[in-house]
Amino acid sequence: MQAPVVFMNTSQERTTGREAQISNITAAKAVADVIRTCLGPKAMLKMLLDPMGGLVLTNDGHAILREIDVAHPAAKSMLELSRTQDEEVGDGTTTVIILAGEILAQCAPYIVEKNIHPVVVIQALKRALSDALDEVERVSKPVDVENTPAMLRLIGAAIGTKYVAQWSELMCRLALDAVRSVRVGGGLSSGSPSGNAENTSNTATSSDAGIYDSSVPVEIDTKRYVRIEKIPGGDVSESRVLRGVMLNKDVVHPKMSRYIENPRVVLLDCPLEYKKGESQTNIEITREEDWNRILQIEEEQVRILCEQILSVKPTLVITEKGVSDLAQHYLLKGGCSVLRRTKKSDNNRISRVTGATIVNRVEDLKESDVGTRCGVFKVELIGDEYFTFLDNCTDPKACTVILRGASKDILNEIERNLHDAMAVARNVMLSPSLSPGGGATEMAVSVKLAEKAKQLEGIQQWPYQAVADAMECIPRTLIQNAGGNPIRVLSQLRSQHAQGKSTAGIDGDTGKVTDMVEYGVWEPEVIKQQSIKTAIESACLLLRVDDIVSGVRKQE
Ligand SMILES: Nc1ncnc2c1ncn2[C@@H]1O[C@H](COP(=O)(O)OP(=O)(O)OP(=O)(O)O)[C@@H](O)[C@H]1O
Ligand SMILES: [Mg+2]
C-alpha cells in the first residue's frame, strides 16, 4: 500500500507548463493595456481611489500601477518593473511596461503555436537586446549640460506629457534650478557634504565659472537634498526654488526674533535639557535641602550647556531633539532664536545650505562648526501655519522647492511631474547624451533589428524579429493616443527610417511623422537604454517560468 505523496498545499492554485506561460503573457499584456493610454503628450489621466479612501489623479505609469491591486504573480512582477525604472532613472515607467507587455505578446505565438523552447526564445531576446542598445547609442548625440535653453527644452519635452504642461516653462526652471543647486563634483574638488569653509568658497567660484569636467564623478542626490514642500492655496505660478531650506516650524518661544539677517547657525542633534540617567535611576534623599540641591544641579547643567553654546555667538540654534523651558530662557537672553525637533533629513539639508556642522556634544562646539552662509532667517505665516525659511544662502548644496496649487491632489500630481523633470535633468547631467523622442529611437531600433533578423539562421530569427515588431508599439501608441491612423503613419515612418533618417518620429499632437531635430523632443539616452533593458530582461524572466503556484487560497 502506497500513501499519496503531497509536496504542496493542495488548497493553493497551481498552473504548469504551457498553461503557465500563456497565463503569464496574458497577465503582462493586461497590465500593459491598462496604462497604454497614458503615453505621450496627449495622455489621459487616471483617477484612482486608494484603499485608504485617498484620491490619486495621475498619468504617471508608476504611480498608477502602485495603486492598483493585482493578484496574478506575473502582473505583480510587472509592477515591480515600473518601480525599478522609477528608482533607476525616474522617467519612462509607462514606456517600459508597454514594451515588456508587447514583447511578450509578440513572442507568444512562437512558444504556444510553434512550440519553440523558451530557452531559445530567451537567447534570441538577449541577442536582440545587445543589438538594440548599440543602435540606441548610434542614434544618440551628446549635449552640453551648461546650455540652459537646450536643457530647458529637454526637460520641457519630459514635462510635455504631463499634467503640468500648462506651466511648462516655470516647472522646467524649477527642476533645472533644483538639480543644478545640488550638483557637486564634476571637475570641482568634489564631495563636501557639510562643506567646510575653504572648500566651499572655491566650489562657489569654479561652479559659477561653469568649469565642468566629466572625468570626475558628479554626485546629484535629488532624493536626499531636494525637498519638495507642498502648500495648498495660492497659485501654481507662485512656486519657486529656495536658495536654502524651508521647514514647517516656528521658533520655540514667542519672544524670539523671527527675522535675522546673516544668522550664525548652530546645528545640534542633542537635547538641550538636563541629562537624565541612562536607565531608570532611583535617588534616595533624607534631607529636604538635598532635594533643592538636586534641582539646582539640574538647573546649573542646563545653564552651562547654554553658556557653551552662546560662547560661539550664534543667533540661531537648531536641534533635532527637545529644548527645555529653562534652556529656552537662557538662549533667549543670549539673543538666539531656537528651533527644535527638526527631522534628521532636514538637519542634513540645513547643514548643506548654511555650512554648519551638526554637533552632537555641546562641549565640542567650535567656531568652524557655525554656519554663516545663510542670507536670511525668517518665520512667516502662510495660511494658518508658521513656516521657517533659511533663504538666500551663498552656494547652497541643497534646496527646497515650494509648490503652490489649488488642491492637495493637484499638488501631489505636480510633485510627481516635477520628480520626472528632475530625473531627466539629473540623468543628462550624469551622462550628457540624448536620444530622439517621439518613438524615433524605438523605430530606429526596430528597423535595425528587422534588418539583422534576416541574417540570422535557424529558429532564433523569429523571436528576434518579434522584438523588432514589439519596438514599434511605442510610435504606434503615440499615434493612437494622438488620434492618428496607426497603419498609414507607421508605414511612412518605417520607410523614412529605412532610408536612414533615424531622427524621424511622431508629432505627438497631430499624430504625423516629423523630424525630431526640428520638432525638438529629445530624451536622455540612459532612460531609453534602461527602458529597453528592463523590458527585455523582464520578458525573459517571465518566459523562463513554467510553474506558477500562487499562495492565495482558492475560494471555497
Ligand atoms: N511632444 C511629443 N511628441 C511626440 N512624442 C512625445 C512628445 N513628448 C514626449 N513624447 C514621447 O512620449 C514618451 C514618453 O511618454 P510619457 O512621459 O507619458 O511616459 P514615460 O516617460 O514612459 O513614463 P512616465 O513619465 O509616466 O514615467 C516618450 O517616448 C517620448 O519620446
Ligand atoms: Mg515621462
Contact yes or no for 316/331 (Cβ under 8 A) = no
Q: According to the model, what pLDDT value does residue 192 have?
A: 38
Sign of the C-alpha dihedral computed for residues 434, 439, 443 and 449 taken in this order: positive
Interhelix angle 525-543/93-112, rounded to 10 degrees, is 30
Query: How far is the C-alpha of 326 from the C-alpha of 539, rounded, in Å?
Result: 64
Interval between CA 164 and ligand 2 midpoint (Å): 12
At 336, list the grid cell. Answer: 538666539
Contact yes or no for 404/392 (Cβ under 8 A) = no
Interval between CA 146 and ligand 1 midpoint (Å): 24
Nearest-atom index, ligand 1, CA of 96: 22
Angle (CA) 277-282-286 rounded to 5° is: 125
Which of 60, 86, 346, 395 is flagged as catalytic? 60
Q: According to the model, what pLDDT value does residue 229 have?
A: 92
Cα→Cα distances 496→444, 450, 517, 525, Å: 10, 15, 14, 22
Note whether 314 and 385 are same-domain residues: yes
Which of 58, 86, 91, 93 is flagged as catalytic? 93
Give the DSSP H/E element, type plus range, for residue 263.
none
Note whether 261 and 388 are same-domain residues: yes
Q: According to the model, what pLDDT value does residue 200 have?
A: 37
Q: According to the model, what pLDDT value does residue 535 have?
A: 93
Q: According to the model, what pLDDT value does residue 198 have?
A: 36
Note whether 298 and 206 are same-domain residues: no
Between strands 433-436 and 141-142, the pairing is antiparallel
Note whether 130 and 202 are same-domain residues: no
| CATH number of the domain residue 358 falls in | 3.50.7.10
Read off the pTM.
Answer: 0.81
Contact yes or no for 142/495 (Cβ under 8 A) = no
Query: How far is the C-alpha of 222 from the C-alpha of 182, rounded, in Å?
Result: 7
Q: Is 546 a catalytic residue?
A: no
Nearest-atom index, ligand 1, CA of 531: 22
Interval between CA 158 and ligand 2 midpoint (Å): 5
Which of 58, 91, 94, 222 is flagged as catalytic? 94
Q: In 113-196, which residue ranges form alpha helices assigned H by DSSP?
A: 118-139, 148-159, 168-181
Note whether 329 and 198 are same-domain residues: no
How many domains, in total, are found in the chain? 3
Q: Is 391 a catalytic residue?
A: no
Q: Is 93 a catalytic residue?
A: yes
Give the DSSP H/E element, type plus range, for residue 233.
none
The parent domain of residue 105 ranges over 12-142+439-553
Name the residue with the closest Cα to ligand 1, atom 5: 438
Name the residue with the closest Cα to ligand 1, atom 12: 40
Note whether 165 and 89 are same-domain residues: no
Query: How far is the C-alpha of 209 from the C-alpha of 453, rounded, in Å?
Result: 50
Interval between CA 57 and ligand 1 midpoint (Å): 18
Which of 86, 131, 395, 420 is flagged as catalytic? 420
Q: In 472-524, which residue ranges form alpha helices assigned H by DSSP?
A: 473-481, 486-498, 516-519
User: Residue 65: which residues within 8 A CB-CB, separation 6 or more?
Assistant: 31, 34, 35, 78, 79, 82, 93, 97
Note whether 117 and 20 are same-domain residues: yes
Residues with C-beta less than 6 Å from any ligand 1 atom: 38-41, 43, 60-62, 91-95, 157, 160-161, 420, 437-439, 474, 478, 506-508, 521, 523
Place of cell 529656495: 242
Amino acid at 203: T
Nearest-atom index, ligand 1, CA of 420: 25
Note whether 502 and 546 are same-domain residues: yes
Interval between CA 227 and ligand 2 midpoint (Å): 21
The CB-side HSE value for 339 (13 A sphere, CA atoms) comes to: 27
| Residue 5 belongs to some domain of the structure | no
For a mutational test of ligand 1's pocket, the pick from 39, 97, 139, 481, i.e. the residue with the most ligand atoms closer than 8 A to its C-beta, is 39
Query: How far is the C-alpha of 99 from the C-alpha of 46, rounded, in Å?
Result: 20
Q: Is 94 a catalytic residue?
A: yes
Note whether 473 and 486 are same-domain residues: yes
Amino acid at 532: I
- Alpha-carbon dihedral of residues 87, 90, 94, 95, nearest 10 degrees? -100
- Alpha-carbon dihedral of residues 63, 67, 68, 73, nearest 10 degrees? 90
Smallest-distance ligand from the CA of 531: 1
| CATH number of the domain residue 524 falls in | 1.10.560.10
At 21, list the grid cell. Answer: 506561460
Sign of the C-alpha dihedral computed for residues 157, 163, 168 and 173 taken in this order: negative
Interval between CA 479 and ligand 1 midpoint (Å): 12
SS3 58: strand
pLDDT in tens, the chain (556 residues): 677 776 656 666 778 888 888 888 898 999 899 889 989 888 888 888 887 888 888 888 888 888 888 888 888 888 888 888 888 888 889 999 999 999 999 998 888 888 888 888 999 999 999 999 999 999 999 988 888 888 898 898 888 888 888 888 899 999 999 999 998 876 443 333 333 333 333 333 333 334 445 566 788 888 889 999 999 888 888 999 999 999 999 999 999 999 999 999 999 999 998 877 778 888 888 888 888 998 898 899 999 999 999 999 999 999 999 999 999 999 999 999 999 999 999 999 999 999 999 999 999 899 999 999 999 999 999 888 899 999 999 989 999 999 998 888 889 889 988 998 999 999 998 889 999 999 999 999 999 999 999 998 888 888 999 999 999 999 999 999 998 899 999 999 999 999 988 899 999 888 899 998 888 889 999 999 999 999 999 999 888 888 887 766 555 5
